[in-house]
Amino acid sequence: MIIGKDIHKSFDGKEIIKGVDIEIAEGEITCLVGPSGTGKTTLLRALALLDYPTRGSISIDETSYQFPLAEDQAITPPWPEVTVVFQSLFLWPHLTLRENILLPARNIDPDTAEDRLEELIDTFSMRHFIDNFPNEASIGQRQRVALTRALMLKPKYILLDEITSALDVEQVAKVLNYLQVLRDQGIGIFVITHLLGFARRASDKICFMADGKIVEQGPPSILDNPESKRLKEFVSVIEQAH
């Protein structure tokens, strides 16, 4: 389990995350929803230990870190057991999409990487563009490739930042189904999304974040019966927009 306790993160003296407690359990899909600019991506980067919190503690399974770190304390990188798909995807532009996936995957499983990729190519309908370069693919195609690159690493936890933003309904449904398969395999999944429908259908737990804090969390039903005024407003604005 990934457990973040009392996480604070400041940039240039400005506090972006203001004491967040969050848990990502194995075999569960946790969705983080909330307005833009409330620190969702900052929180994700902290949980993946890409950026260290200013204060607080993060535990990944048996390993625990208290921040700020002691002078002689070093972080053992949790990647790729904990892996991330970024909103901006960060596909390597000089490699084809296939190479983007296979380069890290061959480290994990050199014998079966290509066979596993063939399966995922069919699952996410990537056959017609998999040998293109990233700049020859649409954003939706790149999102599927970035997700595949992460899935090929056999992660224990996968943190996804808005990976369905450019996908059509059919592809969102495919991603959702696949995430549920991964969840059933015991992988802990953390998803930042603006799609409330996706969050309702996919998640076991929803956390609503606003102004640097988790305002409300619970089962997907909190989106239908929000307790806090802030979540009520958020749900109402999003649903009016759709």
Partner 1 sequence: MFNIVVDPFYTAALTLSIVNVFGVCDVVRAALDSFPEQYVTAARVSGLSTRQTIFKIQMPLLVRQVLPGLLILQVTMLHTTLFASLISVEEIFRVAQRINAQIYKPVEIYTALGVFFLMVCLPVNGFAMWLKQKYGRDLSER
DSSP codes, 98-150: HHHHHHHHHHH-TTTHHHHHHHHHHHTT-TTTTTS-GGGS-HHHHHHHHHHHH
Q: What's the closest the beta carbon of residue 93 comes to partner 1, in angstroms? A: 4
In terms of CB distance, is 21 or 51 closer to partner 1? 51
Beta bridge mates, 20: 7
The answer to whether residues 210 and 219 touch, using CB atoms and an 8 Å cutoff, is no
Touching partner 1, residues 120-139 (CB under 8 A)? 133-135
Distance CA 57, CA 59 (A): 7
Using CB under 8 A as the binding rule, the residues of this chain from 79 to 108 that contact partner 1 are 79-80, 82-84, 86, 88, 90-94, 103-104, 107-108
- Cβ 55 to partner 1 shortest distance, Å: 23
Query: How large is the C-alpha radius of gyration of the chain?
Result: 18
CB of 164 to partner 1, least distance (A): 19
Size, binding site for partner 1 by CB under 8 A: 26
CA distance 136 to 126: 13
As measured in angstroms, the least distance from the Cβ of 83 to partner 1 is 5
- When asked if residue 75 is in the footprint of partner 1 (CB under 8 A), the reply is no
Helix (H, G, I), strand (E, B) or coil at 182: helix
| In the complex, minimum distance from the CB of residue 149 to partner 1, in angstroms, rounded to a whole number | 7
Residues near partner 1, by CB under 8 A: 48, 50, 77, 79-80, 82-84, 86, 88, 90-94, 103-104, 107-108, 133-135, 142, 149-150, 153
